[in-house]
């Protein structure tokens, strides 16, 4: 590895490995054997070929903000950290695209685009840290995906290093590349197809104006009914984000925004677009909130008030420490939007059943819930409760017609749910697709599919539970 990337770009000391043993899903931990920091596609090719010759597993890592254990190198091996491939290679406003290396942090691109009045639309809450390469791996969402779509809707092309060292360019800045949509297939494959070494992204013109409202509700039902009614009325807001009472108390303790601490829920409701007609849309939303017994509807009247509201939303996770638990696990279920009231009641009942602290901050407009289960990871009983409560909530999401992950990915965390969502025939076909890219299963092993890798029958390796093993 040192011959390929230079000694200064290789870490091997056990203490250094500790920083790479897990991501935001702290329940699953495995130390890599070595961490390398390539700075070019050629170096990635060299690393991957060396791994292939030696029969060693490898995994690409961005900023390690995955909440599903996507950055856990199951079974050890070579961690390919892409944080030093962080150049924005091209910005082309007239043709509405940019070319970036995978280690570019999401918000850097949007910051670079500010002078032009454009932005990169997918905006995960972790956008200040997470990388575009990581976003491509997990097909990340964010608050504004409600109107603008998720990562895959904004990716025009990728350059990928396949596990055998081949470099393939899929798509690119021109639309409608003939043949299979390899780009769309690679986005969201959680690094199991290869290592994306360059990304062509679509740029989006900034909206001319915004209206950002904060609905304050005495019950969660009133809040979720408001969301359901807004969508049902044919309004497409830019974002609809719900924060519950527990979450509000943490955010308030950290930022002192003046949120009402006795409210059961607040909903950030944003519409954007052309100034003409925007106020009408905001008024309709306010009326819907009031019909659903909103106690109060506040309005951000300046850009700084709007930014403050979004800061509260996007940095909410960072304030959870205020609630006094050393660890938390963020879940990522999806239900049809009209089922939000049901799933929220279920989540609160689950918290009571397991006597767990759960707070909620999520993309309500998409039906994408993020219950945050708070615990102490040093206590195996609490860890077990978190796993069981998560299981109950996600199983209920499936029962309501939804999914176990809207934007975080399956990773190692949710592998056991795949057979609940998909038949063995479905999973077998997924295994076949993976084998087209990654026949030996050495690239990001133990992820996404309940098989160790290669072409094994899914059922034969269902017992492989890295997350559980690491946890208990």
In the region spanning residues 238 to 297, those forming contacts with another protein, defined by CB under 8 A, are 273-278, 280-281
Position among 87, 114, 205, 311 found at the interface with another protein (CB under 8 A): 205
Q: Which is nearer to another protein, 40 or 166 (CB)?
A: 166
380 binds another protein (CB under 8 A): no
Position among 377, 435, 440, 454 found at the interface with another protein (CB under 8 A): 435
**Residues whose CB is less than 8 angstroms from the CB of residue 39 and which lie 6 or more positions away in sequence, other chains included:** 5, 9, 84, 85
442 binds another protein (CB under 8 A): no
Position among 184, 260, 318, 321 found at the interface with another protein (CB under 8 A): 184
Q: Which is nearer to another protein, 41 or 405 (CB)?
A: 405
Using CB under 8 A, which residues numbered 382 to 421 contact another protein? 401-410, 414, 417-418, 421
**β-pair type (195-202, 97-100):** antiparallel
Least distance to another protein, CB of residue 69, Å = 14
Instruction: Please tell me the distance from the alpha carbon of residue 51 to that of residue 1, in angstroms, as a whole number.
Output: 9
Question: Could you give the string, one character per residue 124-163, with x where binding to another protein holds by CB under 8 A and - elsewhere?
Answer: --------------xx-x---x---xx-xx--------x-
The count of residues interacting with another protein (CB under 8 A) is 89
Position among 18, 19, 89, 232 found at the interface with another protein (CB under 8 A): 232
Evaluate whether 347 touches 358 at the Cβ level (below 8 Å).
yes
361 binds another protein (CB under 8 A): no
Q: Which is nearer to another protein, 173 or 321 (CB)?
A: 173
Evaluate whether 217 touches 295 at the Cβ level (below 8 Å).
yes
Which residue, among 379, 388, 335, has the nearest Cα to 358 in the 3D structure? 388
Transcribe 94-154 into DSSP letters. Answer: TTTEEEE-TT-BHHHHHHHHGGGTEE-----TTTTT-BHHHHHHHT---TTHHHH--GGGG
Position among 182, 359, 364, 387 found at the interface with another protein (CB under 8 A): 182
48 binds another protein (CB under 8 A): no
Transcribe 204-260 into DSSP letters. Answer: EEPPSEEEEEEEEESSHHHHHHHHHHHHHTT---SEEEEEEHHHHHHHHHHH-----
Instruction: Please tell me the distance from the alpha carbon of residue 451 to that of residue 118, in angstroms, as a whole number.
Output: 42
334 binds another protein (CB under 8 A): yes
């Amino acid at each position: 590895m040192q011959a390929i990337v230079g000694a200064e770009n290789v870490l091997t000391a056990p203490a250094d490995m500790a920083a790479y043993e897990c991501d935001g899903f702290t329940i699953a931990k495995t130390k890599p054997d070595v961490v390398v920091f390539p700075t070019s596609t050629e170096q990635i090719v060299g690393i991957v070929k060396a791994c292939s010759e030696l029969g060693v597993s490898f995994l690409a890592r961005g900023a390690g903000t995955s909440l599903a254990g996507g950055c856990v190198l199951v079974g050890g091996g070579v961690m390919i950290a892409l944080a030093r491939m962080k150049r924005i290679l091209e910005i082309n406003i007239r043709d509405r695209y940019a070319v970036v290396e995978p280690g570019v942090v999401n918000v850097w691109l949007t910051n670079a685009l500010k002078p032009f009045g454009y932005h990169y639309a997918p905006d995960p809450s972790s956008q200040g840290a997470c990388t575009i390469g990581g976003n491509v791996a997990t097909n990340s969402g964010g608050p504004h995906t409600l109107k603008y779509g998720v990562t895959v809707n904004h990716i025009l092309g990728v350059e990928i290093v396949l596990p055998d060292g081949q470099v393939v360019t899929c798509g690119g800045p021109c639309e409608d590349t003939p043949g299979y949509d390899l780009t769309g297939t690679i986005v969201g494959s959680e690094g199991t197809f290869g290592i994306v070494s360059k990304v062509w992204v679509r740029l989006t013109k900034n909206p001319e104006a915004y209206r950002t409202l904060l609905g304050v509700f005495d019950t969660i039902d009133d809040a979720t009914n408001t969301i359901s009614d807004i969508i049902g009325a044919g309004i497409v807001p830019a974002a609809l984000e719900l924060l519950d009472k527990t979450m509000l108390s943490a955010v308030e303790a950290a930022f002192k925004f003046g949120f009402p601490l006795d409210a059961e829920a607040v909903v950030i409701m944003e519409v954007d677009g052309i100034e003409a007609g925007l106020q009408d849309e905001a008024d309709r939303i306010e009326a819907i909130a009031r019909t659903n017994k909103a106690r109060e509807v506040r309005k951000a009247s300046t850009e700084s008030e709007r930014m403050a509201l979004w800061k509260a939303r996007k940095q909410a996770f960072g304030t959870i420490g205020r609630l006094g638990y050393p660890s938390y696990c963020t879940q990522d279920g999806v239900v049809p939007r009209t089922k939000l009231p049901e799933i929220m009641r279920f989540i609160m009942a689950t918290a009571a059943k397991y006597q767990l602290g759960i707070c909620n901050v999520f993309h309500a407009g998409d039906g994408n819930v993020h219950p945050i289960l708070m615990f102490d990871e040093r206590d195996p009983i609490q860890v077990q409760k978190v796993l069981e409560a998560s299981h109950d909530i996600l199983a209920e999401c499936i029962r309501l017609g939804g999914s176990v992950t809207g934007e975080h990915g399956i990773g190692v965390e949710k592998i056991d749910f795949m057979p609940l969502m998909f038949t063995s025939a479905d999973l077998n076909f997924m295994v076949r697709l993976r084998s087209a890219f990654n026949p030996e299963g050495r690239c990001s092993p133990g992820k996404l599919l309940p098989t160790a890798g290669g072409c094994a029958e899914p059922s034969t390796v269902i017992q492989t539970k890295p997350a559980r093993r690491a946890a208990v």
